[in-house]
Amino acid sequence: MIGEVIKRLNGELPATVKLVAVSKFHPFEAIQEAYEAGQRIFAESRPQELLAKVRRLEEIRIERGEPDYMSDIEWHFIGHLQTNKLKMVLPYVSLVQSVDSIRLLEAIDNWGAANGKVINVLLECFISSDETKQGLSERELTDIFSGEKTYRNVRICGLMGMATFTDNEDVIRGDFQHLLDMQQILHDWIGESANVPSECNELSFGMSDDYPIAVEMGSTMVRIGSMIFGSRLY
């Protein structure tokens, strides 16, 4: 079942769009099933849960006597990240998609400097009309790009956004267009800002209910959870 959805999505998505399987609230066995169907990128939204899954995989490797089992799995972090939880997340992930404040960006940069690493991130932009959602404003993006401060231990790979929770397709398209407008701000800084590398092209938008619209509008990364793993029991 999980494997079939993965295969169907991979058949359907253009080659330019990466599939990120959002495994939050689902057991490690579900991740294994998706992995066996060829899925490699998984995303979690809570530090404790990510860490538990990383440790579960280590245990399974020992149980199986296969140190390389699932060694090419990639973890992304997509939830709100508190600065006191960085060490639970940053050692294990290849991308933090949810940098939603300048304070967090600075904290990740400092952690990277202290640990001799460069952390790949996406800047999460506030594009929805849901007040509960997080993200940077256009003003804050501009502050990051135009500021004096250079983030040497962070690589900004692009932007991430989440549309308003609604069935209204026009509202969703409007939110996604807002993200494209914010990408234009970023592109204007390529070559001008030390914080914007030239290959800063990732645009992570689209989830189970709105990914076809996102793909049509130029997403490079869709984050799909419930469609693959079923509904979540919170």
CB of 200 to ligand PLP, least distance (A): 20
Contacts of 161 (CB under 8 A, 6+ apart): 124, 125, 126, 127, 128, 135, 175, 176, 178, 179, 182, 204, 205
Measured from the CB atom, the residue of 109 and 210 that comes closer to ligand PLP is 210
Query: Which residue's Cβ lies closest to ligand PLP?
Result: 225
Question: Least Å distance between CB 180 and ligand PLP?
Answer: 18
Q: Looking at beta carbons only, is 126 or 189 nearer to ligand PLP?
A: 126
Q: Which is nearer to ligand PLP, 5 or 189 (CB)?
A: 5
Q: Cα separation of 19 and 143, whole Å?
A: 31
Q: What is the DSSP string of 128-167?
A: SS-TT---B-HHHHHHHHHSS---TTEEEEEEEE---SSS
Interface residue list for ligand PLP (CB under 6 A): 22, 24, 45, 78-79, 162, 207-209, 223-227
Q: Which two tokens stand for residue 112?
A: 């990277």
Q: Which is nearer to ligand PLP, 172 or 189 (CB)?
A: 172
DSSP reduced 3-state for 80: coil
Residue 225: CB minimum distance to ligand PLP, A: 3
| Whether 45 contacts 14, CB under 8 Å | no
Please state the closest distance from residue 29 (CB atom) to ligand PLP, in A.
Answer: 18
φ, ψ dihedrals at 121, nearest 5°:
-140, 160
Between 22 and 31, whose beta carbon lies closer to ligand PLP?
Answer: 22
Task: Name the helix (H) or strand (E) containing 36.
Answer: helix 28-36
Nearest-approach distance from CB 64 to ligand PLP, in angstroms = 30
